[in-house]
């Protein structure tokens, strides 16, 4: 269950990134859109790390 924390944080970062990206599009801010995209990518990586930890702990 060690990867659960990473997966939860990853989901949160991905959600926050989507919000930032949407807000950036809404107000026309390239910087905010880029930050959102970066947060989404970070979230996906965190989720992958969490999944890998879970797989390793099962072996």
| Tokens (6 digits) for 3 | 């990867």
Count structural domains, the chain: 1
Please tell me the pTM assigned to this model.
0.83
**Over the stretch 20-58, which tens digit does the pLDDT of each residue have?**
999 999 999 999 999 999 999 999 999 999 999 999 988
| Residues composing the chain | 59
Q: Write out the residue range of the structural domain in which residue 51 sits.
A: 4-57
At residue 12 the predicted structure's pLDDT band, cuts being 50, 70 and 90, is very high
DSSP state of 1: -
At residue 1 the predicted structure's pLDDT band, cuts being 50, 70 and 90, is low
């Amino acid at each position: 269950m060690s990867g659960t924390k990473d997966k939860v944080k990853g989901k949160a970062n991905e959600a926050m990134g989507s919000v930032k990206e949407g807000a950036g599009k809404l107000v026309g801010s390239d910087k905010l859109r880029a930050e959102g995209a970066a947060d989404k990518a970070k979230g996906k990586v965190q989720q992958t790390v969490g999944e890998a930890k879970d797989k390793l702990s099962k072996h």
